[in-house]
Structure 1
Amino acid sequence: MQTQRFLISFVSLASFLINPRVCSPTCGFPAIFNFGDSNSDTGGLSAAFGQAPYPNGQTFFHSPSGRFSDGRLIVDFIAEELGLPYLNAFLDSIGSNFSHGANFATAGSTVRPPNTTISQSGVSPISLDVQLVQFSDFFTRSQLIRNRGGVFKQLLPRKEYFSQALYTFDIGQNDLTAGLKLNMTTDQIKAYIPDVLDQLSDAIRKVYMKGGRRFWIHNTAPIGCLPYVLDRFPVPASQIDSHGCAIPRNEIARYFNSELKTRVIGLRKELSKAAITYVDVYSIKLTLITQARKLGISNQTNNR
């Protein structure tokens, strides 16, 4: 519960960072459109390749919920704070309601299109460019179908919601670990990060051209602290810090985040009608790891 309150407080505080000339602290968002990977996937990969199995979903939903987590994700807490239902995955046709937005994220997604199959590498074929195609299709077809009236009017968003919505991006982590899978050095991975951020920036521009104005951009987590990274891509003991994290892996994440922040600053100038909030998820997650005992989670299993 203390961890959940910590996340809720983070979301509540960060919400006030929205540019006041576009949205005051008291304004609401009628919808959320999310792009991302497992950190924000509420059922996309499960709909395409089979439900994320138990123990996923065990602590809050008490059954598999499409999330690769034992509980809620940050995007779920954002929806709660905005008074909106949890986002349904765009790919999930069973019982979905898109009147308040849609989630295009799938676990394993990358910004750059993968050159392997999901069975070979575990990387989702639904990369950011595919998610944008899905959003564009949803943008057009949702209104055509909504105009039929009846149940469609209740399950699809109003046209004006697309310009009033909050657009969230939580992606890039798998682009970094993709380099680790290829045994690339820290410098080699850093070398392709500009290309990753070029494509992420282009995605934000495309949503802006569709009328999106409020953007919530997550940086990436301290990947050197993630159990699966430590297990699959080990480093010498001399490169492990006092919290058990791999120093060179976190160096990659910090470089990505520094460059991402620079891109966001540039996009704020370029997209003059947009409010773009850079969210320091790295620091939040590092706090959860380094202050686990204080937050009451030192004896709990940390699922990704």
Structure 2
Amino acid sequence: MLLTSTQLFRLSQGHLNLLAACPRKFQHNYLEKLTTPTDPKQEETQILGSRFHLLMQQREMGLPINSFLEGDKEDKELKTLKTWMTDFSQAAPEILTPDINEQTFRDSEHYRTLQIQDYLITVIYDLLIADQEKADIFDWKTYPQPPDKRYLAKNWQTRLYMYVLAETSEYLPKNISMTYWFVQSKDQPKNIQFKYDTRKHKQTGQELKQILSNLTKWFEEYHQNQPFPQEPAVKKSCEYCQYAVRCYDQINNPLEVRAVILPNIDNIPEVSL
């Protein structure tokens, strides 16, 4: 997919994270649409996470969910979903049972867009709660171990979600926050919150525009049969990348590259037949 004078390229936080990690991988994923076999266990986890998000959305819309959760008692997924919902309602009752007397705006799966250069930046908030002075973004995570807060702070989801809200509303950056809730955390759900400010907003805007300028340049070069930049083969992430061999198959010393990106056969345990 290439940019034209009448076409906007839609970008999400996932696109930006991939561009920051490895532009060549962005090329393989989104321009060439290369696919790799899906890990069944990972796919099962993703489906369960999607079902939880859907239940949270239905609950926010006032649709009944108890009858669904009380379905087949032997269904492991239903048991898991019910546990997550119960634990979260106990950990954050102020989010799920708001004061009806408060004048607040609430919207689940809230969608916003922002055009920058030839790109349409898109965000979807799992839940947005706002009043006349402040706005709070919430995001549900269903993996068990919360990442380091410093890692989350650098993640484009955190930065982009608050940036777009500040750019598309009248809320001052200092009155915007974002909270991640990890509903599967050990013992009870945990949260990590980020506050926004003008300095962070300015920095994010500058870095975002730089990434988009680079992307435009890479698109133009790609149109001239020049691939997107790639990460050095010595990077640890290349060992786990499904495109590693494809990226480096024409390098001067393929044996050296294979030693970096492929496991040593001597270190692979034998499997009894």
TM-score by length of 2: 0.27
Larger-Rg structure: 2
TM-score by length of 1: 0.25
